[in-house]
Structure 1
Amino acid sequence: MGIMSFLRNRAGIIIVGAIGFAIIAFLVSDAVQMGGSFLHADQTEVGEVDGEAIPILEFNEQVELNTNNFKQQMGQSNLDPQMTSYIVENTWNQFVSKLLMKKEMNRLGLQVSKNELNDLVTGKNPDPQIIQNFGDPKTGQLNRMQLNSFLDNVKTQPSDSPVSQQWTAFLLNIREGKMAQKYTNLIKNSIYVTTLEAREDYSQRNKLANFSYVNLDYNSVPDNQAKITDQDYSDYYNENKFRFKNPSESRSFEYIVFDANPSKADSAEVIAAVQKIAADFRTSTNDSLFVSINSETKLPVNYVRRGQLDPALDSLVFKASSGTFIGPIFTNGSYKMAKVIDVKVGPDSVKASHILINPAAEGGIDKAKSKADSIRNLISGGASFTELAAKFGTDASKDTGGDLGTFARGSMVPAFEEAVFNGQTGDLKVITTQFGVHVIKINAQIGSSKVVKVALVDKSLSTSNKTQQEAYAKATSFLAAAKNDKAFDEESKKSGYTKQLAENVIPTQAAVEGLDNSREMIRWVFGSDKGDVSNQVFEMGNKFAVAKVVDVFEKGTLPLDQVKKQIEPMVIKRAKARLLLENMNKAVTGSTSIEQVAQKAGKPVTPVQNIVFANPVIPGLSQENKLVGTIFGSQPGKLSKPIEGDQGVYVFVVNGFSNPAPLTNAFKQKVQVAQSIQQRASGEAYKVLRDNSDIKDNRVKFF
């Protein structure tokens, strides 16, 4: 029981550790990369990293492990599409990172020897994961007796047993973590900051500039007065090509939505059903059974504290007396009704411990109860609850003597909560839940407030089959008429349907904003060509959609025609700058002071105090890198030439600089600069590895 319990109870830790290594020090949110055709990629591979395949079966296994761990950590049994997409994305990052780092570490010759690994497990300075799993919770120190006992047990297991395989995976995780640490240290130790760099950084952060400026704002010129040409677009594009590098293939598509929201007839039908349920609920003699049969959410009949219910019900329930019936009330898309069964004052929270007995391991529920009764009798006779929990407990709490900490109402399953909140401090109880048989000790009951035992029934305002069919019929009729790109546009205009646009969608995107469960439509888009109209109606809850691919943006530098609309505001700004530079040059010509420039330009002089080079933000405007950079390279008292900034065209004069006190401790400054660089170094190193690798992502075919 001990060895299997250890691995079972710490499976989540092992999984988290495996994920942790893969992304340790290299957390990135944009690891998605695409390559090749989705239609012709290998059907057995979810992707490739520098020619090394990621098999779909192996990938799916890891997704399942990560999903189960996530559910356990979050206490959820079901995940929505966004959460599922998040897990798939993290799993992909895990595989890509692991393969890239494996290749780089092999190139560098980084290794962890067998002796090093043994030292990480049983040496003087064991790995933190060993201490976490075999440490004394009271002292935080390694319990070597427990560790050695566990290792002796592992030696008795066959090499192909689940225990041996899980322990091997755990050791591999420790080894990989050590490799990652060596790599990170190698990068950090390669960073060197010179005294000159330290002094320059100190100056940039502490030298102050005082200046005055005159500004002609771009917003002062209407867009229609800024005449732009094809050459303007071309010039801006060629100067800023680096901005248009597409890290992964993306697509834009239009779609028309056919809503199947509840009709008036649907509402009337639901209201009639709700009124009948309410009448029956009022006279029900078995409220728990009634809730389980008639309520959609099936909340257990239990005591609740103020604030736990829907706000529309909460205040009414806590003002009511026992026996009061409330509702139906329509809130958040559902009709809700409540029956107040009991009102009393009870504890706000409870501190409790338990010993969980697994019926499957004991030969059935009766034997588990018998064992639990025996344990309770031992505790009543003076035996240590903590020691018995460590010996007989089967969940993770046994490592802390069964201590569950302090928890409020709603934190535990109903049977457990009923036992601890309705008992007295010091009580020992034996109860059964879906998790097994519990020996419970109530350590303390904290606070007191009004609680209400309430039965809740809800019924959502749903769409009828008839309404669904009518919306679907409209969608299929449109699809039949919109056979191609041109017909899609003509038919939507003819029928008065509004086309919606989803821009720059990436292959792994979970959904289109405003459309739940739209992943299938996105997958179709990435298996189609520009101009294609969907060959099916996509169903998304109460909505149906027909789509058309508008544009395909390939991985790599996007061509000018695909970014022309995107860069238009910047090109217009440049055209405005030409006009304003001409006006400002006229104002500067013949002027000997900033005041004369302001008078000619018809703008005020604005003084600015205490600007530093490292933070080039002008109060009242925004970040102006070019302007501030020019200021720090100028002589005091000299009128500048017009400067084309981000918000407008500027002329300035430096009134003076305030130099900081001399740097007396260059070594300390060097350390600070180095630490700042080191914090980014690992992530930047990973980014370089990723950018210089050939990564093919075929996930859109499978997820």
Structure 2
Amino acid sequence: MGLMTFLRNRAGYILVGAIGFAIVAFLVGDAINVGKPFWAESQKVVGSVDGEEISIDQFGPKVDQSLAQFKQQYGGSGNAQMQAMAVDNVWQGEIASILLGKEYNRLGLTISSDELFDLLQGKNPSPLIVQYFGNPQTGEVNRAEVLASLKQQDKNPQLEKQWELLQNEIEKQALQKKYANLISNSIYVTTLEANDDYQNRNKLASFKYTLLDYAAVPDATVKPTESDYSDYYNENKKRFENPSETRSFEYVAFSVSPTKEDSAAVKTQVDKLAADFRTAANDSLFAAVNSDVKVPYAYMSKGKLDPAVDSVVFNLPAGSYYGPRFSGNSYKLIKVIDTRFSPDSVKASHILLDPSKMGGADKAKKLADSLKTLVQNGASFAALAKQYSIDGSKDKGGELGTFSRGQMVPVFEDAAFNGKAGDLKVVTSQFGVHLIKIEKQIGSSKVAKLAYIEKGLASSNKTRDAAYKKASAFLNEVKSNNFAELAQKKGYTVGVADRVTPTQGFAPGLDSPRQLIRDAYATDKGEILKEVYQMDNAYVVARVTDIKPKGTLSLEDVKKEIEPMVRTAVKAKMLTEKMNKALQGSANLAQVAQKLGKTVAPVENIVFANPIIPGAAQENKLVGSVFGSQPGKLSKAIDGTAGVYAFTVDGFSQPAPLANTYKQKEAMMQAGGQRALGAAFQALQDKSKIKDNRVKFY
């Protein structure tokens, strides 16, 4: 009864509360399910430049494209370093696009329609037009080809998109050139500056010096004070600008390299595989199923295999068997199926037909045979290619240019390399039915068709499990304050990765550290990372040891790093005092050297622009002082790179008067303009607010 009375008396409050909760739930639910404004959108932001956000949706595809270009340029499947290069390449491009775009708008820089027309199809084509439509030998642009491609946009949406991207890039390059010209044209060199630069590069100085070497003072005898550290830090503060936040970590790596037992097990497996391979009925199928590395079952030229087996295999006759041979951490087993002499490269044209648009492969092949007959009877192959081919080469009469082995699909390659110049061949590939015309065959060398098996020497599951078990036990036992001590107690080596940037793709001693680095940026200083990280060759446990923020680092941040320089500065003070005592009352350099128990060293023909002292070091301060001194006058003590000097100038050799001031100015303005463009872009970045979240995504 009491409960019912309570509910009646409080029903209004309960109802209002329930309605309020329902409204909040509705709004939050709507936000979560529809707009996701609270966190989902922010999770997509790779970074921002002056408030302009860069979304992963636009950033990611550009990284993929950049990575693909790096793979094509450098080869391989793309490692962590290549990925980091691609990410940084796109990031710098995004920063440049946003900051320079704002500069163009501020300065009123645009590309007019007339300028764009000239860049696309006029007398001053863009370098990109030259790249895509130019003759590689002459550099001349085929304007008819450009116009034909532009006209085809209406009928080809994909081509229209490609032209849109190309036009945008052409405009961007043209604006960058205008901006660069503005910067470089703002550089001016006076006649006085031109003569000074000429003098600095050509005036010769000869002098003698005596040296008190820093190395002669034992480090153990030098005890820098806090004041010494502070003085050095304040004098060199600009050197301690940190362009990006960095993190340092220490780690223990538990190796998963193959053990002796693993090596023996793999050798046993390979020996059995070798015996089966010798008697296999289908060599190519057996190799394809059992090899860790897939080598195409096609003719290949010498130089494509591991050097340890390449020369041997290409000296064997058809039917030979070779292996197992261990090299490069893997076993190789090879059957030589056939050898022959074949062209090094082929120049060919083709007409590609699409069976799906012709009612099947049989009808496409019949059409190809008919076209072959027409060509044999005198019809133009180029004209037929333009009319029937679905390949992009049709606009060039089907011309594919010159290609070597490995550039075409196997069936196409076999037809092109196994025929002879003038042959017409019909073949079917995954792309459709081809009518191939062999235009020319160049060179001749031995090729071989191989059935190839490669088995890598890998660690066993038992070895990997044992390493993981050790790593897990260490992670469970270690504490934030005893990482190095516990590692030493257990006999583990502690590695150090110092000042790692957020997007760095490498770390000393670690082959795939990206996830570790990402997690290090989500962990506080002194904390142990919460998981065991798997690398290609080890399991790793790590601890964050230091965090250095972006901006000017404090004295405490750099104290350990600058200790050697501070010690040298203290030595410089000690030796300067000693040198000054020797200079007092001395009439010449020989007397100074005698007091110090040192020798006098002569130096001939030093130029101001190249301040290298033979047998000593690069001594900017010393050489600068020499060129500011009078001949015959004993100098004061100069603290240099290698030690403290005293010197006497013997004389200067003056160069001939500058013959062409204009040419000197022009060279200096060109060099200054190139430096100024980079400096201007750096200034734009320094003045901008740039937030970098890439570590959350890559």
Q: TM-score, normalised by structure 1?
A: 0.87
| Post-superposition CA distance 1:385-404 (Å, at most 9, x none) | 45555665555655665555
Instruction: State whether residues 152 and 159 of structure 2, in contact with CA within 8 Å, keep that contact through their aligned partners in structure 1.
Output: no
The answer on 1:681 being equivalent to 2:676 is: yes
Distance 2:384 2:71 in 1: 30
Partner of 2:64: 64
Q: Return closer, same or farther for 1:546/1:139 CA change in 2, 3 Å cut-off.
A: closer
**What are the residue-to-residue correspondences of 1:267-306 with 2, within 5 Å?**
267-306=263-302
Deviation at 1:143, TM superposition (A): 4.4
Q: Return closer, same or farther for 1:138/1:649 CA change in 2, 3 Å cut-off.
A: closer
Instruction: State whether residues 536 and 546 of structure 1, in contact with CA within 8 Å, keep that contact through their aligned partners in structure 2.
Output: yes
The answer on 1:702 being equivalent to 2:697 is: yes
Distance 1:154 1:388 in 2: 22
**What are the residue-to-residue correspondences of 1:369-388 with 2, within 5 Å?**
369-386=365-382, 388=384
Instruction: State whether residues 288 and 300 of structure 1, in contact with CA within 8 Å, keep that contact through their aligned partners in structure 2.
Output: no
Partner of 1:315: 311
Partner of 1:592: 587
Partner of 1:24: none
The answer on 1:547 being equivalent to 2:542 is: yes
Aligned AA for 1:690?
Q
Distance 1:538 1:649 in 2: 50
Q: Return closer, same or farther for 1:360/1:486 CA change in 2, 3 Å cut-off.
A: farther
Secondary structure of 2:586's aligned partner:
coil
Distance 2:387 2:564 in 1: 71
Partner of 1:653: 648
Deviation at 1:331, TM superposition (A): 1.3
Instruction: State whether residues 357 and 368 of structure 1, in contact with CA within 8 Å, keep that contact through their aligned partners in structure 2.
Output: no
Deviation at 1:406, TM superposition (A): 4.5
Partner of 1:15: none
Aligned AA for 1:513?
P
Aligned AA for 2:644?
V
The answer on 1:458 being equivalent to 2:487 is: no
Q: Return closer, same or farther for 1:634/1:487 CA change in 2, 3 Å cut-off.
A: closer
Deviation at 1:263, TM superposition (A): 2.6
Deviation at 1:277, TM superposition (A): 0.7
Q: Which moved more, 1:551-560 or 1:462-471?
A: 462-471
Secondary structure of 2:510's aligned partner:
coil
The answer on 1:572 being equivalent to 2:571 is: no
Instruction: State whether residues 428 and 439 of structure 1, in contact with CA within 8 Å, keep that contact through their aligned partners in structure 2.
Output: yes
Instruction: State whether residues 137 and 400 of structure 1, in contact with CA within 8 Å, keep that contact through their aligned partners in structure 2.
Output: no
Q: Which moved more, 1:216-225 or 1:96-105?
A: 216-225
Distance 2:259 2:58 in 1: 47
| Post-superposition CA distance 1:637-667 (Å, at most 9, x none) | 1111121111111111111111111123211
| Post-superposition CA distance 1:501-560 (Å, at most 9, x none) | 110000001132332222111100001100111111111234111111100000011111
Q: Return closer, same or farther for 1:82/1:611 CA change in 2, 3 Å cut-off.
A: same
Partner of 1:616: 611
**What are the residue-to-residue correspondences of 1:69-84 with 2, within 5 Å?**
69-71=69-71, 78-84=77-83
Aligned AA for 1:588?
L
Query: What is the root-mean-square deviation in Å for CA atoms of aligned residues?
Result: 2.7
Instruction: State whether residues 354 and 438 of structure 1, in contact with CA within 8 Å, keep that contact through their aligned partners in structure 2.
Output: no
The answer on 1:85 being equivalent to 2:84 is: yes
Instruction: State whether residues 576 and 639 of structure 2, in contact with CA within 8 Å, keep that contact through their aligned partners in structure 1.
Output: yes
The answer on 1:105 being equivalent to 2:104 is: yes
Partner of 1:17: none
Aligned AA for 2:515?
E
Partner of 2:53: 53
Partner of 2:629: 634
Instruction: State whether residues 350 and 420 of structure 1, in contact with CA within 8 Å, keep that contact through their aligned partners in structure 2.
Output: no
Q: Return closer, same or farther for 1:245/1:352 CA change in 2, 3 Å cut-off.
A: same
Aligned AA for 2:568?
K
Instruction: State whether residues 349 and 399 of structure 2, in contact with CA within 8 Å, keep that contact through their aligned partners in structure 1.
Output: yes
Q: Percent identity?
A: 52
Residue 264 (structure 1) aligned to one of 248, 260, 264: 260
**What are the residue-to-residue correspondences of 1:323-402 with 2, within 5 Å?**
323-347=319-343, 349-355=344-350, 357=352, 359=354, 362-363=357-358, 365-386=361-382, 388=384, 402=398
The answer on 1:117 being equivalent to 2:112 is: no
Deviation at 1:152, TM superposition (A): 4.1
Instruction: State whether residues 137 and 399 of structure 1, in contact with CA within 8 Å, keep that contact through their aligned partners in structure 2.
Output: no
Deviation at 1:50, TM superposition (A): 0.9
Secondary structure of 2:633's aligned partner:
coil
Distance 1:366 1:610 in 2: 84
Q: Which moved more, 1:387-396 or 1:599-608?
A: 387-396
Secondary structure of 2:106's aligned partner:
helix
Instruction: State whether residues 354 and 390 of structure 2, in contact with CA within 8 Å, keep that contact through their aligned partners in structure 1.
Output: no
Distance 1:358 1:588 in 2: 92
Aligned AA for 1:273?
Q
Partner of 2:34: none
Distance 2:310 2:149 in 1: 52
Instruction: State whether residues 468 and 542 of structure 1, in contact with CA within 8 Å, keep that contact through their aligned partners in structure 2.
Output: no
Partner of 1:538: 533
Deviation at 1:262, TM superposition (A): 2.0
Q: Return closer, same or farther for 1:301/1:216 CA change in 2, 3 Å cut-off.
A: same
Aligned AA for 2:90?
T
Aligned AA for 1:589?
Q
| Post-superposition CA distance 1:153-179 (Å, at most 9, x none) | 43578xxx5554443333322222222
Aligned AA for 2:249?
F
Deviation at 1:328, TM superposition (A): 1.0
| Post-superposition CA distance 1:312-360 (Å, at most 9, x none) | 212332343332222112111111111222344444x123223252637
Instruction: State whether residues 349 and 401 of structure 2, in contact with CA within 8 Å, keep that contact through their aligned partners in structure 1.
Output: no
Distance 1:428 1:399 in 2: 20
Partner of 1:432: 428
Distance 1:384 1:279 in 2: 55
Q: Which moved more, 1:273-282 or 1:586-595?
A: 586-595
Distance 2:170 2:262 in 1: 59
Instruction: State whether residues 195 and 670 of structure 1, in contact with CA within 8 Å, keep that contact through their aligned partners in structure 2.
Output: yes
Distance 1:611 1:360 in 2: 77
Partner of 2:128: 129
Secondary structure of 1:43's aligned partner:
helix
Instruction: State whether residues 41 and 698 of structure 1, in contact with CA within 8 Å, keep that contact through their aligned partners in structure 2.
Output: no
Q: Return closer, same or farther for 1:642/1:617 CA change in 2, 3 Å cut-off.
A: same
Deviation at 1:494, TM superposition (A): 3.2
Instruction: State whether residues 70 and 82 of structure 2, in contact with CA within 8 Å, keep that contact through their aligned partners in structure 1.
Output: no
Secondary structure of 2:199's aligned partner:
helix
Q: Return closer, same or farther for 1:356/1:251 CA change in 2, 3 Å cut-off.
A: farther
Residue 488 (structure 1) aligned to one of 483, 487, 510: 483
Aligned AA for 1:612?
V
Instruction: State whether residues 81 and 517 of structure 1, in contact with CA within 8 Å, keep that contact through their aligned partners in structure 2.
Output: yes
Secondary structure of 1:497's aligned partner:
coil
Deviation at 1:251, TM superposition (A): 0.4
Deviation at 1:68, TM superposition (A): 4.4
Instruction: State whether residues 349 and 439 of structure 2, in contact with CA within 8 Å, keep that contact through their aligned partners in structure 1.
Output: no
Q: Which moved more, 1:203-212 or 1:108-117?
A: 108-117
Q: TM-score, normalised by structure 2?
A: 0.88
Partner of 1:14: none
Secondary structure of 1:532's aligned partner:
coil
Aligned AA for 1:221?
V
Paired residues, number: 659
Q: Return closer, same or farther for 1:104/1:121 CA change in 2, 3 Å cut-off.
A: same
Instruction: State whether residues 637 and 645 of structure 2, in contact with CA within 8 Å, keep that contact through their aligned partners in structure 1.
Output: yes
Aligned AA for 2:89?
N
Instruction: State whether residues 270 and 461 of structure 1, in contact with CA within 8 Å, keep that contact through their aligned partners in structure 2.
Output: yes
Instruction: State whether residues 348 and 440 of structure 2, in contact with CA within 8 Å, keep that contact through their aligned partners in structure 1.
Output: no
Deviation at 1:407, TM superposition (A): 4.5
